[in-house]
Structure 1
Amino acid sequence: MKLGISVTDLDPEHLDELAALCLTARDEAALGAHICVADQAGLRQQLCTYAELPGTRIFVAYLDGSIVGFSLTRDIMPGQFLTNSMLYVELIYVDEGARRRGVGHQLMSKIAQTAHDNGAHDIYALPLPGSRGMQRFYARLGFAPAAAHRVVTTQALLRHLATETKRPRRGVTPIEDIIARRRRARSETHSGPLDLRAFQATYTSSQPIAVVPPQRHPRNID
Protein backbone atom coordinates (compact mmCIF):
# COMPACT_ATOMS: atom_id res chain seq x y z
CA MET A 1 0.00 0.00 0.00
CA LYS A 2 1.20 3.47 -0.85
CA LEU A 3 2.84 5.22 2.09
CA GLY A 4 0.46 7.61 3.85
CA ILE A 5 -2.70 6.16 2.26
CA SER A 6 -5.09 3.75 3.96
CA VAL A 7 -8.58 2.55 3.03
CA THR A 8 -10.97 1.20 5.66
CA ASP A 9 -14.66 0.88 6.44
CA LEU A 10 -16.23 4.09 7.65
CA ASP A 11 -15.84 4.75 11.36
CA PRO A 12 -19.03 6.32 12.83
CA GLU A 13 -16.85 8.92 14.54
CA HIS A 14 -15.84 10.27 11.12
CA LEU A 15 -19.35 10.78 9.73
CA ASP A 16 -19.15 14.58 9.95
CA GLU A 17 -15.82 14.67 8.11
CA LEU A 18 -17.19 12.40 5.38
CA ALA A 19 -20.36 14.50 5.05
CA ALA A 20 -18.21 17.58 4.49
CA LEU A 21 -16.33 15.79 1.71
CA CYS A 22 -19.65 14.71 0.18
CA LEU A 23 -20.58 18.38 -0.07
CA THR A 24 -17.39 19.01 -2.03
CA ALA A 25 -18.24 16.15 -4.39
CA ARG A 26 -21.77 17.53 -4.78
CA ASP A 27 -20.48 20.97 -5.77
CA GLU A 28 -18.11 19.43 -8.34
CA ALA A 29 -20.76 17.30 -10.06
CA ALA A 30 -22.64 18.86 -12.96
CA LEU A 31 -25.92 17.51 -11.55
CA GLY A 32 -24.95 17.69 -7.89
CA ALA A 33 -28.18 19.39 -6.89
CA HIS A 34 -30.07 16.28 -8.01
CA ILE A 35 -27.82 13.82 -6.16
CA CYS A 36 -28.02 14.83 -2.51
CA VAL A 37 -28.98 17.66 -0.18
CA ALA A 38 -26.82 20.74 0.26
CA ASP A 39 -26.44 20.81 4.05
CA GLN A 40 -23.97 18.77 6.06
CA ALA A 41 -26.48 17.63 8.69
CA GLY A 42 -28.82 16.27 6.03
CA LEU A 43 -25.94 14.50 4.27
CA ARG A 44 -24.87 12.93 7.55
CA GLN A 45 -28.36 11.50 8.03
CA GLN A 46 -28.41 10.16 4.47
CA LEU A 47 -25.04 8.45 4.99
CA CYS A 48 -26.33 6.84 8.18
CA THR A 49 -29.38 5.54 6.31
CA TYR A 50 -27.27 4.23 3.45
CA ALA A 51 -24.87 2.47 5.83
CA GLU A 52 -27.75 0.53 7.39
CA LEU A 53 -29.11 -0.83 4.09
CA PRO A 54 -28.41 -4.55 3.50
CA GLY A 55 -25.32 -5.21 1.40
CA THR A 56 -24.01 -1.63 1.40
CA ARG A 57 -20.48 -0.55 2.29
CA ILE A 58 -18.82 2.81 2.75
CA PHE A 59 -15.06 2.77 2.28
CA VAL A 60 -13.04 5.87 3.18
CA ALA A 61 -9.51 6.75 2.10
CA TYR A 62 -7.20 8.48 4.55
CA LEU A 63 -4.14 10.44 3.53
CA ASP A 64 -1.92 11.41 6.46
CA GLY A 65 -4.88 10.97 8.82
CA SER A 66 -7.48 13.01 6.90
CA ILE A 67 -10.34 11.67 4.78
CA VAL A 68 -9.61 12.54 1.14
CA GLY A 69 -11.80 10.01 -0.68
CA PHE A 70 -14.65 7.56 -0.30
CA SER A 71 -16.77 5.01 -2.14
CA LEU A 72 -20.34 3.81 -1.78
CA THR A 73 -20.90 0.21 -2.89
CA ARG A 74 -23.71 -2.31 -2.82
CA ASP A 75 -23.77 -6.10 -3.20
CA ILE A 76 -26.33 -7.31 -5.76
CA MET A 77 -27.25 -10.93 -5.23
CA PRO A 78 -28.69 -13.40 -7.80
CA GLY A 79 -32.44 -13.31 -8.18
CA GLN A 80 -35.17 -13.78 -10.76
CA PHE A 81 -33.18 -12.03 -13.52
CA LEU A 82 -29.57 -12.05 -12.29
CA THR A 83 -27.77 -15.39 -12.28
CA ASN A 84 -24.44 -14.19 -10.85
CA SER A 85 -23.74 -11.88 -7.94
CA MET A 86 -22.14 -8.53 -8.69
CA LEU A 87 -20.85 -5.45 -6.92
CA TYR A 88 -22.33 -2.06 -7.71
CA VAL A 89 -20.24 1.10 -7.21
CA GLU A 90 -22.69 3.93 -6.66
CA LEU A 91 -20.01 6.54 -6.10
CA ILE A 92 -16.26 6.90 -5.82
CA TYR A 93 -14.70 10.29 -5.19
CA VAL A 94 -11.25 11.71 -4.38
CA ASP A 95 -10.72 15.27 -3.24
CA GLU A 96 -9.04 17.44 -5.88
CA GLY A 97 -6.01 18.18 -3.70
CA ALA A 98 -5.30 14.45 -3.22
CA ARG A 99 -5.55 13.32 -6.85
CA ARG A 100 -2.70 11.76 -8.86
CA ARG A 101 -1.33 10.24 -5.67
CA GLY A 102 -2.85 6.77 -5.86
CA VAL A 103 -5.88 7.35 -3.63
CA GLY A 104 -8.38 6.35 -6.31
CA HIS A 105 -6.44 3.18 -7.07
CA GLN A 106 -6.36 2.23 -3.41
CA LEU A 107 -10.12 2.69 -3.15
CA MET A 108 -10.66 0.64 -6.30
CA SER A 109 -8.29 -2.05 -5.06
CA LYS A 110 -10.37 -2.35 -1.89
CA ILE A 111 -13.53 -2.60 -3.98
CA ALA A 112 -12.04 -5.21 -6.32
CA GLN A 113 -10.76 -7.33 -3.45
CA THR A 114 -14.17 -7.17 -1.75
CA ALA A 115 -15.86 -8.26 -4.98
CA HIS A 116 -13.40 -11.12 -5.35
CA ASP A 117 -13.85 -12.29 -1.76
CA ASN A 118 -17.65 -12.26 -2.12
CA GLY A 119 -17.63 -14.09 -5.45
CA ALA A 120 -18.97 -11.14 -7.47
CA HIS A 121 -18.39 -11.81 -11.16
CA ASP A 122 -18.89 -8.24 -12.42
CA ILE A 123 -18.43 -4.75 -11.03
CA TYR A 124 -20.77 -2.03 -12.26
CA ALA A 125 -20.01 1.66 -11.68
CA LEU A 126 -21.93 4.88 -12.15
CA PRO A 127 -19.59 7.87 -12.73
CA LEU A 128 -20.56 11.27 -11.37
CA PRO A 129 -22.59 13.08 -14.05
CA GLY A 130 -20.35 15.28 -16.20
CA SER A 131 -17.12 13.97 -14.68
CA ARG A 132 -14.79 13.31 -17.62
CA GLY A 133 -11.94 12.54 -15.25
CA MET A 134 -13.87 9.66 -13.72
CA GLN A 135 -14.86 8.38 -17.14
CA ARG A 136 -11.17 8.24 -18.11
CA PHE A 137 -10.30 6.63 -14.78
CA TYR A 138 -12.83 3.84 -15.29
CA ALA A 139 -11.84 3.34 -18.92
CA ARG A 140 -8.17 3.03 -17.97
CA LEU A 141 -9.07 0.25 -15.54
CA GLY A 142 -10.95 -1.73 -18.16
CA PHE A 143 -14.53 -0.62 -17.50
CA ALA A 144 -16.63 -0.78 -20.66
CA PRO A 145 -19.79 1.27 -21.34
CA ALA A 146 -23.03 -0.33 -20.11
CA ALA A 147 -25.95 2.04 -20.75
CA ALA A 148 -25.24 4.99 -18.41
CA HIS A 149 -22.93 2.79 -16.35
CA ARG A 150 -19.58 1.10 -16.85
CA VAL A 151 -18.83 -2.56 -16.20
CA VAL A 152 -15.77 -4.77 -15.84
CA THR A 153 -15.25 -8.31 -14.63
CA THR A 154 -13.68 -8.63 -11.21
CA GLN A 155 -10.70 -10.58 -12.56
CA ALA A 156 -10.06 -8.04 -15.33
CA LEU A 157 -10.12 -5.17 -12.82
CA LEU A 158 -7.62 -6.94 -10.57
CA ARG A 159 -5.29 -7.39 -13.57
CA HIS A 160 -5.60 -3.74 -14.60
CA LEU A 161 -4.96 -2.55 -11.06
CA ALA A 162 -1.82 -4.68 -10.85
CA THR A 163 -0.56 -3.20 -14.13
CA GLU A 164 -1.39 0.39 -13.17
CA THR A 165 0.43 0.06 -9.85
CA LYS A 166 3.69 -0.73 -11.65
CA ARG A 167 3.54 2.38 -13.83
CA PRO A 168 5.35 5.50 -12.57
CA ARG A 169 3.04 8.33 -11.63
CA ARG A 170 3.56 11.72 -13.22
CA GLY A 171 1.76 14.97 -12.80
CA VAL A 172 1.59 15.55 -16.56
CA THR A 173 1.14 13.34 -19.59
CA PRO A 174 4.18 12.51 -21.80
CA ILE A 175 3.00 14.83 -24.60
CA GLU A 176 2.56 17.69 -22.13
CA ASP A 177 6.09 17.09 -20.86
CA ILE A 178 7.51 17.18 -24.40
CA ILE A 179 5.70 20.45 -25.18
CA ALA A 180 6.95 22.02 -21.93
CA ARG A 181 10.57 21.04 -22.66
CA ARG A 182 10.38 22.48 -26.17
CA ARG A 183 9.04 25.76 -24.83
CA ARG A 184 11.86 25.95 -22.30
CA ALA A 185 14.42 25.28 -25.03
CA ARG A 186 13.03 28.08 -27.20
CA SER A 187 13.08 30.55 -24.31
CA GLU A 188 16.66 29.67 -23.34
CA THR A 189 18.29 29.92 -26.77
CA HIS A 190 17.47 30.96 -30.31
CA SER A 191 20.59 29.52 -31.92
CA GLY A 192 20.06 25.78 -31.55
CA PRO A 193 21.50 23.41 -28.93
CA LEU A 194 24.52 25.69 -28.36
CA ASP A 195 23.72 29.20 -27.12
CA LEU A 196 25.85 31.60 -29.24
CA ARG A 197 24.11 34.84 -28.34
CA ALA A 198 26.78 36.05 -25.89
CA PHE A 199 29.54 35.27 -28.36
CA GLN A 200 27.72 37.06 -31.16
CA ALA A 201 27.21 40.20 -29.03
CA THR A 202 30.91 40.32 -28.03
CA TYR A 203 32.09 39.72 -31.58
CA THR A 204 29.87 42.43 -33.03
CA SER A 205 30.92 45.09 -30.49
CA SER A 206 34.65 44.38 -31.00
CA GLN A 207 34.66 44.74 -34.80
CA PRO A 208 35.16 48.16 -36.48
CA ILE A 209 32.38 49.31 -38.69
CA ALA A 210 33.42 48.82 -42.29
CA VAL A 211 32.49 51.58 -44.72
CA VAL A 212 31.96 50.24 -48.19
CA PRO A 213 32.57 52.90 -50.90
CA PRO A 214 29.95 53.13 -53.57
CA GLN A 215 30.62 51.16 -56.72
CA ARG A 216 31.67 53.18 -59.78
CA HIS A 217 30.43 51.83 -63.08
CA PRO A 218 32.67 52.40 -66.16
CA ARG A 219 31.33 54.85 -68.69
CA ASN A 220 30.18 53.60 -72.01
CA ILE A 221 32.93 54.70 -74.46
CA ASP A 222 31.49 53.18 -77.55
Structure 2
Amino acid sequence: MRPGVHVRSARPDDLEDLVGLCLAARAEAGVGSQLCTEDAERLRSQLGALLAVPGGEVLIGTVDDQPAGLLLARLVGPGPFTDLSSLNLEAVFVVPDARRRGLGHALLSRAVLLAEQNGATELYSSPLPGARGMQRFLARLGFAPAAAHRVVTTAVLQRRLTHEVGPASLTPAVRRTGPRGLEDLIARRRQVREGRRRQDDASAADTAAQARASINMQVSRAVQSRRPSSSSTTTW
Protein backbone atom coordinates (compact mmCIF):
# COMPACT_ATOMS: atom_id res chain seq x y z
CA MET A 1 0.00 0.00 0.00
CA ARG A 2 1.39 3.38 -0.97
CA PRO A 3 2.14 6.05 1.65
CA GLY A 4 -0.92 8.04 2.59
CA VAL A 5 -3.36 5.33 1.36
CA HIS A 6 -5.36 3.48 4.01
CA VAL A 7 -8.37 1.13 4.02
CA ARG A 8 -10.42 0.04 7.01
CA SER A 9 -13.86 -1.23 7.92
CA ALA A 10 -16.35 1.60 8.10
CA ARG A 11 -17.92 2.66 11.39
CA PRO A 12 -21.27 4.32 12.10
CA ASP A 13 -19.51 7.69 12.42
CA ASP A 14 -18.33 7.29 8.78
CA LEU A 15 -21.88 7.46 7.42
CA GLU A 16 -21.66 11.08 6.28
CA ASP A 17 -18.46 10.43 4.34
CA LEU A 18 -19.95 7.26 2.82
CA VAL A 19 -23.07 9.13 1.72
CA GLY A 20 -20.90 11.75 0.03
CA LEU A 21 -18.88 9.09 -1.80
CA CYS A 22 -22.03 7.28 -3.00
CA LEU A 23 -23.54 10.51 -4.31
CA ALA A 24 -20.27 11.33 -6.09
CA ALA A 25 -20.33 7.88 -7.72
CA ARG A 26 -23.94 8.40 -8.78
CA ALA A 27 -23.15 11.77 -10.34
CA GLU A 28 -20.17 10.38 -12.26
CA ALA A 29 -21.92 7.23 -13.50
CA GLY A 30 -24.97 9.07 -14.76
CA VAL A 31 -27.21 6.02 -14.33
CA GLY A 32 -29.38 7.44 -11.58
CA SER A 33 -31.23 4.99 -9.38
CA GLN A 34 -29.41 2.00 -10.87
CA LEU A 35 -26.56 2.91 -8.53
CA CYS A 36 -28.17 4.51 -5.48
CA THR A 37 -30.84 6.94 -4.36
CA GLU A 38 -30.21 10.67 -4.48
CA ASP A 39 -32.00 11.11 -1.15
CA ALA A 40 -29.14 11.55 1.35
CA GLU A 41 -31.27 10.61 4.36
CA ARG A 42 -32.53 7.45 2.74
CA LEU A 43 -29.02 6.58 1.56
CA ARG A 44 -27.71 7.08 5.11
CA SER A 45 -30.34 4.65 6.39
CA GLN A 46 -29.48 2.05 3.73
CA LEU A 47 -25.74 2.24 4.44
CA GLY A 48 -26.42 1.98 8.15
CA ALA A 49 -28.47 -1.15 7.54
CA LEU A 50 -25.64 -2.69 5.49
CA LEU A 51 -23.21 -1.93 8.31
CA ALA A 52 -25.49 -3.63 10.84
CA VAL A 53 -26.76 -6.67 8.91
CA PRO A 54 -24.85 -9.96 9.33
CA GLY A 55 -22.66 -10.48 6.28
CA GLY A 56 -22.67 -6.80 5.31
CA GLU A 57 -19.24 -5.34 4.68
CA VAL A 58 -18.46 -1.66 4.13
CA LEU A 59 -14.88 -0.50 3.56
CA ILE A 60 -13.76 3.10 3.41
CA GLY A 61 -10.50 4.23 1.87
CA THR A 62 -8.61 7.41 2.59
CA VAL A 63 -5.79 9.22 0.85
CA ASP A 64 -3.85 11.61 3.04
CA ASP A 65 -6.55 11.18 5.70
CA GLN A 66 -9.31 12.30 3.31
CA PRO A 67 -12.21 9.96 2.38
CA ALA A 68 -11.53 8.93 -1.21
CA GLY A 69 -13.09 5.53 -1.88
CA LEU A 70 -15.42 2.82 -0.70
CA LEU A 71 -16.32 -0.81 -1.22
CA LEU A 72 -19.75 -2.22 -0.41
CA ALA A 73 -20.09 -6.01 -0.22
CA ARG A 74 -22.22 -8.83 1.13
CA LEU A 75 -21.23 -12.32 2.19
CA VAL A 76 -23.57 -14.83 0.54
CA GLY A 77 -24.01 -18.53 1.34
CA PRO A 78 -23.92 -21.29 2.09
CA GLY A 79 -27.59 -21.66 1.24
CA PRO A 80 -30.27 -24.12 0.13
CA PHE A 81 -28.76 -24.53 -3.34
CA THR A 82 -25.02 -24.32 -2.65
CA ASP A 83 -22.51 -25.26 0.02
CA LEU A 84 -20.16 -22.52 -1.12
CA SER A 85 -19.83 -18.97 0.18
CA SER A 86 -18.96 -15.93 -1.90
CA LEU A 87 -18.35 -12.24 -1.42
CA ASN A 88 -20.55 -10.11 -3.67
CA LEU A 89 -19.09 -6.68 -4.39
CA GLU A 90 -22.04 -4.30 -4.64
CA ALA A 91 -19.94 -1.21 -5.41
CA VAL A 92 -16.30 -0.18 -5.71
CA PHE A 93 -15.58 3.52 -6.17
CA VAL A 94 -12.59 5.84 -5.96
CA VAL A 95 -12.91 9.58 -6.48
CA PRO A 96 -11.18 10.83 -9.64
CA ASP A 97 -8.52 12.86 -7.81
CA ALA A 98 -7.38 9.78 -5.85
CA ARG A 99 -7.10 7.36 -8.75
CA ARG A 100 -3.83 5.77 -9.87
CA ARG A 101 -2.53 5.87 -6.33
CA GLY A 102 -3.32 2.26 -5.43
CA LEU A 103 -6.53 2.83 -3.48
CA GLY A 104 -8.59 0.53 -5.71
CA HIS A 105 -6.05 -2.27 -5.25
CA ALA A 106 -6.02 -1.64 -1.50
CA LEU A 107 -9.82 -1.87 -1.28
CA LEU A 108 -9.85 -5.19 -3.16
CA SER A 109 -6.93 -6.54 -1.12
CA ARG A 110 -8.95 -5.92 2.03
CA ALA A 111 -11.97 -7.56 0.34
CA VAL A 112 -9.87 -10.68 -0.35
CA LEU A 113 -8.89 -10.78 3.32
CA LEU A 114 -12.56 -10.56 4.35
CA ALA A 115 -13.42 -13.37 1.92
CA GLU A 116 -10.70 -15.63 3.30
CA GLN A 117 -11.67 -14.93 6.89
CA ASN A 118 -15.27 -15.92 6.16
CA GLY A 119 -14.56 -18.98 4.01
CA ALA A 120 -15.70 -17.35 0.75
CA THR A 121 -14.09 -19.04 -2.23
CA GLU A 122 -15.13 -16.52 -4.90
CA LEU A 123 -15.69 -12.79 -5.30
CA TYR A 124 -18.40 -11.50 -7.62
CA SER A 125 -18.73 -8.01 -9.03
CA SER A 126 -21.42 -6.52 -11.28
CA PRO A 127 -20.06 -3.28 -12.74
CA LEU A 128 -22.65 -0.96 -14.22
CA PRO A 129 -23.11 -0.98 -18.00
CA GLY A 130 -20.84 1.62 -19.57
CA ALA A 131 -18.34 1.60 -16.68
CA ARG A 132 -15.48 0.72 -19.00
CA GLY A 133 -12.76 1.86 -16.63
CA MET A 134 -14.03 -0.42 -13.88
CA GLN A 135 -14.50 -3.27 -16.36
CA ARG A 136 -10.86 -2.97 -17.46
CA PHE A 137 -9.67 -2.63 -13.86
CA LEU A 138 -11.45 -5.82 -12.77
CA ALA A 139 -10.36 -7.71 -15.89
CA ARG A 140 -6.71 -6.90 -15.16
CA LEU A 141 -7.15 -8.37 -11.69
CA GLY A 142 -8.55 -11.64 -13.04
CA PHE A 143 -12.31 -11.09 -12.85
CA ALA A 144 -13.92 -13.04 -15.70
CA PRO A 145 -17.49 -13.11 -17.05
CA ALA A 146 -19.60 -15.51 -14.99
CA ALA A 147 -23.17 -15.25 -16.24
CA ALA A 148 -25.55 -13.14 -18.25
CA HIS A 149 -28.08 -11.28 -16.14
CA ARG A 150 -31.49 -10.35 -17.46
CA VAL A 151 -33.71 -7.64 -16.04
CA VAL A 152 -37.33 -6.63 -16.62
CA THR A 153 -39.51 -3.98 -15.04
CA THR A 154 -42.43 -5.11 -12.91
CA ALA A 155 -44.90 -3.44 -15.26
CA VAL A 156 -43.51 -5.11 -18.38
CA LEU A 157 -43.43 -8.57 -16.79
CA GLN A 158 -47.00 -8.20 -15.53
CA ARG A 159 -48.16 -7.12 -18.99
CA ARG A 160 -46.39 -10.02 -20.72
CA LEU A 161 -47.76 -12.56 -18.25
CA THR A 162 -51.28 -11.23 -18.70
CA HIS A 163 -50.91 -11.33 -22.48
CA GLU A 164 -49.64 -14.91 -22.54
CA VAL A 165 -51.96 -16.45 -19.97
CA GLY A 166 -55.02 -14.21 -19.99
CA PRO A 167 -57.81 -14.19 -17.40
CA ALA A 168 -58.65 -17.62 -16.04
CA SER A 169 -62.34 -17.18 -16.86
CA LEU A 170 -61.61 -16.45 -20.52
CA THR A 171 -58.68 -18.78 -21.15
CA PRO A 172 -59.47 -22.41 -20.31
CA ALA A 173 -56.02 -23.56 -21.33
CA VAL A 174 -52.71 -21.78 -21.02
CA ARG A 175 -51.57 -20.51 -24.35
CA ARG A 176 -47.87 -20.99 -24.83
CA THR A 177 -46.20 -18.43 -26.99
CA GLY A 178 -42.82 -16.81 -27.20
CA PRO A 179 -39.65 -18.79 -26.43
CA ARG A 180 -41.53 -21.76 -24.94
CA GLY A 181 -43.73 -22.10 -28.03
CA LEU A 182 -40.63 -21.95 -30.21
CA GLU A 183 -39.01 -24.72 -28.16
CA ASP A 184 -42.11 -26.90 -28.63
CA LEU A 185 -42.06 -26.27 -32.38
CA ILE A 186 -38.40 -27.21 -32.61
CA ALA A 187 -39.03 -30.38 -30.58
CA ARG A 188 -41.90 -31.41 -32.85
CA ARG A 189 -39.80 -30.86 -35.95
CA ARG A 190 -37.04 -32.98 -34.48
CA GLN A 191 -39.52 -35.76 -33.81
CA VAL A 192 -40.78 -35.60 -37.41
CA ARG A 193 -37.21 -35.68 -38.76
CA GLU A 194 -36.36 -38.61 -36.51
CA GLY A 195 -39.45 -40.51 -37.66
CA ARG A 196 -38.57 -39.90 -41.30
CA ARG A 197 -35.00 -40.99 -40.70
CA ARG A 198 -36.17 -44.25 -39.14
CA GLN A 199 -38.52 -44.86 -42.05
CA ASP A 200 -35.71 -44.19 -44.52
CA ASP A 201 -33.41 -46.55 -42.61
CA ALA A 202 -36.08 -49.27 -42.59
CA SER A 203 -36.75 -48.78 -46.31
CA ALA A 204 -33.05 -48.94 -47.09
CA ALA A 205 -32.71 -52.11 -45.02
CA ASP A 206 -35.61 -53.73 -46.91
CA THR A 207 -34.11 -52.74 -50.25
CA ALA A 208 -30.75 -54.17 -49.25
CA ALA A 209 -32.34 -57.42 -48.10
CA GLN A 210 -34.25 -57.76 -51.38
CA ALA A 211 -31.09 -57.08 -53.35
CA ARG A 212 -29.18 -59.74 -51.43
CA ALA A 213 -32.00 -62.23 -51.96
CA SER A 214 -32.03 -61.47 -55.70
CA ILE A 215 -28.26 -61.90 -55.95
CA ASN A 216 -28.37 -65.21 -54.07
CA MET A 217 -31.11 -66.48 -56.39
CA GLN A 218 -29.14 -65.48 -59.49
CA VAL A 219 -26.00 -67.16 -58.18
CA SER A 220 -27.92 -70.30 -57.36
CA ARG A 221 -29.40 -70.43 -60.87
CA ALA A 222 -26.02 -69.84 -62.46
CA VAL A 223 -24.46 -72.68 -60.48
CA GLN A 224 -27.25 -75.03 -61.41
CA SER A 225 -26.98 -74.20 -65.14
CA ARG A 226 -23.24 -74.89 -65.16
CA ARG A 227 -23.45 -78.18 -63.28
CA PRO A 228 -23.04 -81.29 -65.65
CA SER A 229 -26.06 -83.49 -66.03
CA SER A 230 -26.01 -87.03 -64.55
CA SER A 231 -26.11 -88.70 -68.01
CA SER A 232 -22.87 -87.15 -69.11
CA THR A 233 -20.94 -87.99 -66.00
CA THR A 234 -18.00 -90.34 -66.69
CA THR A 235 -17.18 -92.94 -64.10
CA TRP A 236 -13.72 -94.48 -64.03
TM-score of the aligned structures, taking structure 1 as reference length:
0.64
Give 1:168-187 correspondences, 5 Å limit: none
Q: Aligned with 1:144: secondary structure?
A: coil
Question: Match for residue 58 of structure 1?
Answer: 58
Q: Is the 8 A contact 2:73 2:91 kept in 1?
A: yes
**Displacement of 1:137 after TM fit?**
0.6
Q: Which residue does 1:19 correspond to in 2?
A: 19
Structure (1 or 2) with the larger CA radius of gyration: 2
| Conserved 8 A contact 2:12-2:51 | no
- Do the aligned residues in 2 keep the contact of 1:85 with 1:119 (CA within 8 Å)? yes
Answer yes or no: is the 8 Å Cα contact 2:7–2:61 preserved in 1. Answer: yes
Contact 1:91 1:128 in 2 (8 A): no
State percent identity of aligned pairs.
46
- Count of aligned positions: 149
* Structure 2 Cα separation of the partners of residues 45 and 3 of structure 1: 33
Residue correspondence of structure 1 range 66-145 to structure 2 within 5 A:
66-145=66-145
Following TM superposition, by how much is the alpha carbon of 1:38 offset from its aligned partner in structure 2, in angstroms?
1.0
Secondary structure at the counterpart of residue 116 of structure 1: helix
Counterpart amino acid of 2:25? Answer: A
Deviations 1:174-215 (A, max 9, x none): xxxxxxxxxxxxxxxxxxxxxxxxxxxxxxxxxxxxxxxxxx
How many angstroms apart in 2 are the aligned matches of 1:32 and 1:146? 25
In 2, are the aligned partners of 1:30 and 1:130 still within 8 Å (CA)? no
Query: Whose strand proportion is higher, 1 or 2?
Result: 1
Report the CA distance between 1:103 and its aligned residue.
0.4
Map Cα deviations across residues 76-106 of structure 1 (whole Å, 9 max, x no partner): 1212211211111111110011001100000
**Rounded Cα–Cα distance in structure 2 between residues aligned with 1:88 and 1:119:** 13
1:216 aligned residue: none
Gaps of 5+ in 1: 150-222
Runs of 4+ in 1 over 6 A off after TM superposition: none
Structure 2 Cα separation of the partners of residues 53 and 144 of structure 1? 28
TM-score (norm 2): 0.60
Equivalent position amino acid for 1:85 in 2 = S
Q: In the TM superposition, what whole-angstrom CA distance separates every residue of 1:14-36 from its partner, at most 9, and x where no partner exists?
A: 21111011101011224233332
- 1:8 aligns with 8
Are the structure 2 counterparts of residues 145 and 137 from structure 1 closer, same or farther at C-alpha, using a change threshold of 3 Å? Answer: same
2:61–2:70 contact (8 Å) kept in structure 1: yes
Q: Are the counterparts in 2 of residues 8 and 60 from structure 1 also a CA contact under 8 Å?
A: yes
What's the counterpart of residue 37 of structure 2? Answer: 37
- Structure 2 gap ranges (5+): 150-236
What SS does structure 1 have at the residue aligned with 2:50?
A: helix
**In the TM superposition, what is the alpha-carbon distance from 1:148 to its structure 2 partner?**
4.8
SS at match of 1:90: strand
